[in-house]
């Protein structure tokens, strides 16, 4: 038991492959992904459940007196995070889905996010482009229009 913490950190294999798994609690279910062997991933969930974790999934297990969950493999591959996100997105409207957060960060998402960011021309801070106007107004007390005017004068 004492060794489990260390074993958990060992990936399934040296590769970038991972698994998407499903845990059934009665007619409700939880979708997750991992690079660990599923029995170890289940142990991690069980540990949290026994310790009264507050997530929707763990709370549902506690409510049903289930302290030993089983992770069933539903997908295995390199794009397991994308597959997981797709399944969870499709299940969002489903009352029986116990997932709380939807999207995990993938390389593509991080790239997408950085495209939406820009540097403030006045202080150099990195800000979401959609929040730039507010930043200029609140922090520097100018509008985008003011900056363009100044540039035009130079």
* Minimum separation from the CB atom of position 5 to Zn ion (A): 44
Q: Which of 114, 108, 24 is nearest to 74 (CA)?
A: 24
* Minimum separation from the CB atom of position 138 to Zn ion (A): 9
Q: How far apart are alpha carbons 109 and 128 in whole angstroms?
A: 14
Between 12 and 142, whose beta carbon lies closer to Zn ion?
142
Between 125 and 144, whose beta carbon lies closer to Zn ion?
125
* Minimum separation from the CB atom of position 37 to Zn ion (A): 48
x/- string (CB under 5 A) for Zn ion, residues 88-127?
--------------------------------x-xx-x--
* Number of residues assigned to the chain: 154
Q: How far apart are alpha carbons 152 and 154 in whole angstroms?
A: 6
| 7 lies in the binding site for Zn ion (CB under 5 A) | no
* Minimum separation from the CB atom of position 137 to Zn ion (A): 11
Q: Site residues (CB under 5 A) for Zn ion?
A: 120, 122-123, 125
């Amino acid at each position: 038991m004492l060794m489990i913490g260390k074993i958990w950190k060992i990936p399934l294999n040296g590769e970038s492959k991972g698994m998407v798994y499903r845990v059934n609690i009665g007619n409700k279910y939880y979708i997750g992904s991992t690079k660990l062997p599923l029995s170890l991933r289940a142990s991690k969930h069980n540990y949290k459940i026994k310790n009264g974790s507050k997530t929707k999934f763990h709370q549902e297990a506690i409510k049903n007196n289930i302290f030993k969950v089983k992770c069933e493999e539903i997908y295995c591959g390199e794009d397991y995070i994308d597959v997981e996100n797709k399944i969870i997105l499709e299940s969002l409207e489903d009352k029986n889905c116990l997932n709380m957060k939807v999207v995990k960060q993938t390389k593509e998402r991080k790239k997408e996010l950085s495209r939406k960011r820009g540097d403030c021309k006045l202080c150099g801070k990195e800000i979401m482009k959609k929040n730039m106007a507010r930043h200029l107004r609140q922090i520097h007390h100018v509008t985008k229009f003011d900056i363009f005017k100044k540039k035009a004068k130079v």
